[in-house]
Amino acid sequence: MAGDRRGAPPVTGRVVVIGSLNVDIVALVERLPRPGETVLGRDLTRWAGGKGANQAVAARAAGAEVAMVGCVGADEPGRAYLRRLTSLGIDTTAVQVELSEATGHALINVDFHGENSIVVVPGANSRLSAAAVGAAVSGLTPQDVLLMQLEIPTDLVTRAARRARDAGARVVLNMAPYAPLPTDVVAAADPVIVNEHEALLLADADQAADSLVVTFGAAGAAWGGRQRPGPVVAANDVIDTTGAGDAFCGALAAALAHGRGRGAALDAALSAGAAAVQHPGAQPDGRLP
């Protein structure tokens, strides 16, 4: 892959993101509720979210040429989201507009320490078509990076990964939220990105990724077992951890598309993740009207 070449000039490709677009409804709470408990919240706000779009925005912020493949509803939240992505310079040509489903939403509680709990309602994300995915993947080149997560139907992820592999493109797969995938799809990714919990689920499924990145939150991340620390963020600077993992994935994919090696790509990803916890919402300046 381009990011592993030694002595060759950097090769710049696109980052093509196939994934979810959600509107996040966020409530600030003093502490997260326990099961069966009601707590009072404040500052109910609406933000751009969804792992796919979060990662696309992060890749674009890291300087990559980015195309988004996904599905929104034919509603005001969907229209607002497409306007936002377009204004950021992301190609939204392959984003479907679904007439029969509302745009996906996530209901998020964030406590005073920046920790969160999230419920995702997929909505239009579940209607992303195989034809749209196939058309996007058919244009991939060996210089491109295909970045995916698992908030869309896993059969689409499977098809896209296989076709991207056959085209020689690099597949970066964030297995979040965790779901089982065929062994050849896991093997095709370079890398698979998981957090500690997802890494255990992957191991429990007897699947070994040939190229594996494990994130450890504030403790950094490891690629192939070689751990690198991330920037230190003071506790009082942590505002919202919602989009940190997505910022990490998007920045990593952008670095790989720019031909950077593992160490440099991890450093860029860790820096992006650390920056992400210091602003509200999953995306910087991502508040929607």
Which residues have a catalytic role annotated? 246
What's the burial of 141, exposed, middle or buried (CB within 10 Å: 0-12/13-18/19+)?
exposed
Residue 4 pLDDT > 80? no
Q: pLDDT of 147-199, one tens digit each?
A: 999 999 999 999 999 999 999 999 999 999 999 999 999 999 999 999 999 99
CB 286 within 8 A of CB 48: yes
Q: How many residues does the chain have?
A: 289
In 3-state terms, what secondary structure has residue 250? helix
In this predicted model, which residue has the larger pLDDT, 22 or 240?
Answer: 22
Q: pLDDT of 20-31, one tens digit each?
A: 999 999 899 999
Residue 8 pLDDT > 70? no
Hey, which residues does 26 pair with through a beta bridge? 45, 108
Taking residue 263's Cβ as centre, other Cβ atoms within 10 Å add up to 11
CA–CA separation, 23 vs 1, rounded Å?
Answer: 34
Whether the full predicted model's pTM is greater than 0.85, yes or no, is: yes
The secondary structure of 123-160 as a DSSP string is: GGGGG--HHHHHHHHHT--TT-EEEE-SSS-HHHHHHH
Structure-block tokens of residue 62 = 């890291």
